[in-house]
Every structure is written in C-alpha cells, then in structure tokens.
C-alpha cells in the first residue's frame, strides 16, 4: 500500500472508527504514489480549495471525501427536495445540538437537528442553495478569541471576490461582489414570501440585506446560489469548474458509508 493510500485509510478510520471496513482494493490501485496537495474533506471549503489549486496544471491534488458522489442523489439537484436528505445517514452526518433552553423546545431532548453534508460538496449539497453568510458578530468574536485575520472586515473582501450577485442594488453596494465565480440571484417571488416579509415588518424587523454587515434584526427575500440560467451553483458543481479539468483534483469517496 502506498503512503497516500495509508493516509486515505487513516482518514477512513478516523471518520468511521477502528471497526471500519478496509478501503476497496480498486480504490487503492487508482491512487498515485505521491501528491503535491492532499485535502481532507470534499465539502464547501475542500472543493473550492481543490479547484483553485488545480488551476496549476503541473500540480496534483488528492481530495478525500468520506461520503458518496452527489451524482447518485437526484434530490440534491432539486433544492425543493432538500428535506428528503436530512437524517439520511448516506449523505448527512445527522448531528444534533446540545439541549437548548429557548429553542427547539418541541424536539426530543430539546436538541435541534443540525444537518451537515457527508457527500461530495458537503453541506453545500444540503442547504437548498440558500446563500447566507455568517453573522459579523461571530467573525469578530473569533478574532477576539485569538483568530487574527478572521474579523468580518477581514473576510468581507473574500466574500465579495467569490460572488457574482445578480441583484443590481446589491451588486452596486459595498457588501457584495459582481465579478466572482459564484452566481447569486434572488429567489422566485411567491405571494407567501411577501406575506412573511409583511409579518416581519409588523414585528419590528427591518427589510434589508441579511448578508451585509448590518444584518441584525433584518428580514429579506432569500437569495440563492443559482445562476441566471437557473443552474444551481454547488461548491463542486459549477459546470465549468467540474468538467474543465477533472484530472488534477482526484476525489476519493467510499460510497458504503
């Protein structure tokens, strides 16, 4: 077994425990003896990183993923079917939060269900294409705790660099990008959505942009990582990204777990 295969097996054991089945022999045989980069986890971050690194055709990348290829799950590609993916052990890690005092009171043990993707694309394959950033408060708190360079003002340029927002008012503002690879557009208007926004206003919420640095107590029509042509933009599934140069970023996944 090559060194890379040993690493892949170590990751496999780390995910599944010492009783895990060994890696399939055919997978071991397809691994090269060495790689320039080994990325553990083909989720939202891992797939993007692999894609960026593979822009150098002289570099080889091994992308390791514990879950299966998303191609075998049609519901991943139909955002309205996202509910069918939750609590599916084949593609969801099925995490739960600690018991809550003020949330999920109707859930068993007052624990919120916390879906996390165990599939190519990670949680970007399970989030119904909703485009939403983390709270600026969280980023700033991480920096206060010692994660220098992770404040909201530090990460905002990277959000903007990655984004191609199809909403003219957002794209022209200071919080969004208009030239990145990730296409973002407004959700299709439905009357029920307008009623929710009206109800939010009556409760005192501002109608604005929840993806800005001023998102507290704000309500808006959802934005989706869906292109102008209606094609979903997964972290691994932008058409030109996925098909242009598949060889540099080889992905290992074990569909049995």
Which range of residues forms the domain containing residue 143? 130-231
212 with 206: CB under 8 angstroms? no
Has residue 125 been placed in a domain?
no
Residue 249 shares a structural domain with residue 208: no
Please report which confidence band the pLDDT of residue 241 belongs to, taking 50, 70 and 90 as the band edges: very low
Q: Which two tokens stand for residue 81?
A: 């079917």
State whether 216 and 247 are in the same domain.
no
Q: What is the average pLDDT across 85-89?
A: 92
Are 50 and 137 found together in one domain? no
**Distance (Å, whole) CA 13 – CA 181:** 35
* Residues 58 and 139 both lie in one domain: no
**Does the residue 62 lie in any domain?**
yes
pLDDT confidence of 233, banded at 50, 70, 90?
A: low
**Number of domains, the chain:** 2
pLDDT at 52: 87
Q: What pLDDT is recorded for position 71?
A: 83
Q: Are residues 206 and 140 in the same domain?
A: yes
Return all residues near 94 (Cβ < 8 A) that are at least 6 apart: 87, 113, 115
Number of Cβ atoms within 10 Å of the Cβ of 73:
21
Q: Is the pLDDT of residue 219 over 70?
A: yes
pLDDT digits (tens, 9 = 90+) for 62-79: 999 999 988 888 888 888
In a domain, 224, yes or no: yes
Answer yes or no: is pLDDT of 23 > 60. no
Are residues 227 and 140 located together in one domain of the fold?
A: yes
pLDDT band at 228 (very low <50, low <70, confident <90, very high): low
Judge if 146 and 62 occupy the same domain: no
CA dihedral 103, 107, 110, 114 (to 10 degrees): -70
State the CATH number of the domain containing residue 141. Answer: 1.10.1220.110
If pLDDT is split at 50, 70 and 90, which confidence band does 235 have? low
Q: What is the pLDDT of residues 149-205, one digit of tens each?
A: 999 999 999 999 989 999 999 998 899 999 988 889 998 888 898 999 999 999 999
201: in domain: yes
Domain membership flag for residue 212: yes
- Residue 181's SS3 state is coil
| Cα(164)–Cα(80) distance, integer angstroms | 23
Query: Looking at the structure, do residues 213 and 142 belong to the same domain, yes or no?
Result: yes
pLDDT digits (tens, 9 = 90+) for 99-144: 999 999 999 999 999 999 999 989 989 888 889 888 899 999 999 9
Q: What's the pLDDT at 215?
A: 66
Does residue 113 sit within a domain? no
Same domain for 227 and 240?
no
Q: What is the mean pLDDT of the chain?
A: 80
* 108 vs 242, residue with greater confidence: 108
Both ends of the chain: CA-CA distance in Å?
22
Alpha-carbon span 7 to 5, nearest angstrom = 5
The pLDDT score that the predictor gives to residue 89 is 94
Whether residue 227 has pLDDT greater than 90: no
Q: Structure tokens of 7?
A: 């690493």
**The pLDDT of residue 208:** 87
* Within-domain flag for 110: no
226 and 143 part of one domain: yes
Would you state the structure tokens that stand for residue 243, as one six-digit string? 């098909």
Percent of the chain with pLDDT over 90: 41
pLDDT at 214: 75
- Specify whether 151 is located in the same domain as 170: yes
Report the relative pairing of strands 182-186 and 218-219 from DSSP bridges: unpaired
Confidence of residue 81 (pLDDT cuts 50, 70, 90): confident
In-domain check, residue 114: no
Extended strands (E) in the chain: 37-40, 61-65, 95-96, 113-114, 163-165, 182-186, 206-207, 218-219, 223-224, 249-253
Q: Quick one: tokens of 233? A: 């933009």
The predicted pLDDT at position 247 comes to 35
Query: Which residue has 């007052």 as its token pair?
Result: 110
Top-confidence residue, 154 or 208: 154
């Amino acid at each position: 077994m090559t060194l890379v295969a040993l690493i892949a097996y170590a990751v496999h054991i780390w995910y599944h425990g010492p009783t895990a089945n060994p890696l399939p022999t055919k997978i071991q045989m397809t691994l090269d003896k060495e790689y320039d980069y080994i990325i553990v986890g083909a989720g939202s971050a891992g797939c993007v990183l692999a894609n960026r690194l593979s822009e150098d055709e002289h570099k080889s990348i091994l992308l390791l993923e514990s879950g299966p290829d998303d191609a075998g799950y049609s519901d991943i590609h139909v955002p309205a079917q996202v509910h069918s993916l939750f609590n599916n052990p084949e593609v969801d890690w099925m995490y739960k939060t600690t018991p809550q005092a003020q949330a999920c009171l109707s859930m068993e043990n007052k624990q919120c269900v916390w879906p996390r993707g165990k599939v190519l694309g990670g949680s970007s394959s399970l989030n119904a294409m909703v485009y939403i950033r983390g709270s600026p408060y969280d980023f700033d708190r991480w920096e206060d705790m010692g994660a220098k360079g992770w404040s909201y003002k530090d990460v905002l340029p990277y959000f903007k660099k990655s984004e191609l927002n199809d909403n003219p008012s957002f794209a022209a503002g200071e919080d969004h990008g208009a030239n990145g690879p990730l296409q973002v557009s407004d959700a299709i208007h439905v009357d029920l959505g307008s009623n929710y926004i009206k109800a939010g206003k009556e409760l005192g919420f501002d109608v604005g942009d929840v993806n800005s640095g001023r998102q507290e107590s704000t309500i808006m029509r959802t934005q989706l990582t869906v292109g102008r042509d209606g094609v979903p933009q997964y972290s691994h599934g932008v058409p030109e990204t996925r098909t242009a140069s598949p060889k540099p970023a080889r992905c290992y996944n074990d569909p049995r777990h």
